[in-house]
């Protein structure tokens, strides 16, 4: 998303999938730990290890897209040639996202769009994570047509993952950025038990896959 989205990218999910009032959940202080899955199907081989911590840090009542919660994603990766890459994602999620009615409406409607990203419900799947956790019948969610600024943290990580100096001044565009998630009720912060980022940089596939760590 433009205006900041994942890792420097802002998500504004307050576009009104539901006309019902917010259910009263206060997610501030929730955290969720993630670990990198190095399986080549999910992660570019140059990324050698990685962890991430998601946390809800504050309520933003006057956000431009409506009342929202700020979600940070602090990541710590080791990338071949470029060493340790650390950064913080700052996401702004509309408060409706933290209401269980949000996912109910998304299942029924299938998709919704904003100028900066689109979301599609892609059915259901069981998830088994690296730590042995099993999550049956997760909602599979795709966020696509995502726009990000070239100097965002996620852009730097994706450049490094395909062998491009993340600090270079002449950054190529990141195309077809997508985020796939498996959502399971009761999981803190965003509900994601699997989180996969992917994009294309100069014809090369850049990707990183995370599993929730209990």
What's the token pair of residue 107? 């299942």
Q: Is 40 helix (H, G, I), strand (E, B) or coil?
A: coil
Report the pLDDT value the prediction gives residue 82, as an integer from 0 to 100: 87
Alpha-carbon distance values, 52 to 2, 91, 101, 209 (Å): 22, 14, 27, 11
Between residues 31 and 19, the one the model is more confident about: 31
Instruction: For the chain, give the percent of residues with pLDDT over 70.
Output: 86
d(CA 141, CA 204): 24
Could you tell me the pLDDT band of residue 17, with boundaries at 50, 70 and 90?
very low
Least confident stretch, 29-33, 171-175, 204-208: 171-175
As a whole number of angstroms, the distance between CA 24 and CA 201 comes to 42
pLDDT single digits (tens) 18-29: 333 344 579 999
Q: Is the pLDDT of residue 11 over 90?
A: no
Is 101 strand, coil or helix?
helix
pLDDT of residue 24: 59
Burial class (CB in 10 A: 0-12, 13-18, 19+), 45: exposed
CB atoms within 10 A of CB 34: 23
Q: Which of 77-86, 164-173, 181-190 has the highest mean pLDDT?
A: 181-190
How far apart, in whole angstroms, are the C-alpha atoms of residue 29 and residue 25?
A: 12
> Does position 7 have pLDDT exceeding 60, yes or no?
no
Domain boundaries, given as residue ranges, for the chain: 31-213
Q: What would the pLDDT profile of 124-159 be if each residue is shown by its tens digit?
A: 999 999 999 999 999 999 989 887 766 677 787 888
Q: Which residue has the higher pLDDT, 73 or 212?
A: 212
Average pLDDT rounded to a whole number, residues 57-61: 95
CA 84 to chain centre: 20
Residue 16 has pLDDT above 50, yes or no: no
With a threshold of 0.85, does the pTM exceed it? no
Q: What is the DSSP string of 160-201?
A: HHTT--TT-SSPPPEEEEEEEEEE-TT-STT-EEEEEEEEEE
């Amino acid at each position: 998303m433009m205006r900041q989205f994942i890792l420097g990218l802002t998500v504004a999910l307050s576009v009104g999938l539901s006309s019902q009032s917010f259910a009263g959940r206060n997610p501030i202080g929730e955290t969720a730990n993630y670990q990198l899955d190095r399986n080549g199907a999910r992660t570019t081989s140059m990324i050698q290890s990685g962890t991430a911590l998601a946390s809800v840090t504050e309520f933003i009542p006057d956000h431009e897209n409506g009342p929202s919660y700020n979600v940070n994603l602090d990541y710590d990766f080791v990338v071949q040639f470029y060493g340790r890459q650390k950064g913080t994602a700052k996401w702004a999620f509309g408060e409706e996202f933290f209401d269980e009615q949000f996912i109910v409406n998304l299942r029924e409607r299938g998709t919704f769009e904003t100028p900066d990203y689109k979301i599609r419900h892609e059915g259901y799947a069981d998830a088994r994570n690296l730590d042995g956790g099993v999550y049956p019948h997760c909602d599979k969610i795709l966020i696509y047509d995502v726009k990000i600024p070239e100097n965002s943290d996620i852009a730097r990580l994706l450049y490094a993952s395909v062998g491009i100096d993340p600090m270079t001044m002449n950054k190529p565009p990141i195309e077809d950025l997508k985020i796939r998630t498996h959502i399971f009720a009761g999981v803190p912060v965003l509900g994601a038990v699997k989180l996969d980022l992917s994009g294309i940089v100069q014809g090369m596939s850049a990707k990183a896959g995370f599993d929730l760590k209990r």
